[in-house]
Structure 1
Amino acid sequence: MNKTAWASAVLLVAALASACGNNQKPADAPAQAAQEQKQEQAKTETQQPVTSKPSDEKVVQALSAPQEMIIYKQGSKQVVKPEDKDFKTIFTLTNKRTANPGYVMRFDESNEAAAKTVKEGLAIEFKYEQATKHSMPAFVGTENKQEINAKSILFIVDGDNKNLMFYSEDGKNYGTAPIEYPESAELSELLKK
């Protein structure tokens, strides 16, 4: 075999190899597609989407629905129950507000701050019958989650200590590590009505 024939044979083999060179075996394709589908299902099962009427965006739910909400406006108090028309909207907007990690703060006067806001500011309190565990997005540790056990969660919307979330395991005494979450204009407007 001469050099020209040899070079032609090598080129022919290379061309055939690249034409048939699908690195994936046909039997592997369905298995890989099934594995990707299982991963997508696992992602959607671990996240609980909640749709918001005002913006129709999907929000990962950090909070469970409370038995009731109390809206505090400059000393007045309004109780909102699950059957009330604004309950779902307020709940969804509050979850939307906590979707991005907040900052855990050091705050020694939590009880005083909560009492002052209830009298002078605008806040919403989620009340649970018993202490409930929540995994709140927050810049802490490596997982960016703050595990809390709360019977009462107070979100300050307007006034002193605006944007802080205080939580209480017994429903009365707030700890010394509230979490700061960004302001929600939609929630503020709704609560000020």
Structure 2
Amino acid sequence: MKKTLMSLALAGLLLTAASCKKNETSDVKIDFTQSYEDAALALATAQQNYQEAVASKDPARIEAAKIELQKAQDKYVESKKVYVAEGGTVKTEYENNLATSTQILGNSSTGIVSNAIKRTDSLITGKTNAEIDNAAKEIKDKVNTEKAKLVEDANKKVSDAKVEAEKVKADFKKSTEETKKTANEKIDKAQKDLNDLFK
């Protein structure tokens, strides 16, 4: 009887362990699928944010959105590799998003703003190429102006720092000379007082 109970208990433990292991395996599969879906959604969101940034014509916002898009694309590609390795099948819609982001990120840095504005503006507002080119030139000029201002500010700070350093140096030299003069005067007075004592 004792032996039978022990056998039943052992069998129950083995079945429970096997069931847990099976559940763990299916959870991992679900996690890979969820990870792939999340990465695809993040990529689509990053593309949307990029399009909105381009529409805003704010160079800083466009650059930040471009960085976000690059990160989202890298994450999607990595997640897709794992998902496919685990037997998953990629979705065409997600691959189209990947192709679009690769095209956006593949443009040269000098042409990316202009090309992105052309695509977005022509789709949304139907602007002519001349109007779009003018908008792109305006943004480029703004970026160059900002860069020039930053360089000018940096040069002014360096120049101001040099002037301040020279002033501190001159003040220190003046202070040292005054201290030396005062000390010499005190020594001379003490010497004179000492001489007066022995007269």
Which structure has the bigger radius of gyration?
Answer: 2
Same fold, TM-score > 0.5, yes or no: no
TM tier, smaller: under 0.3
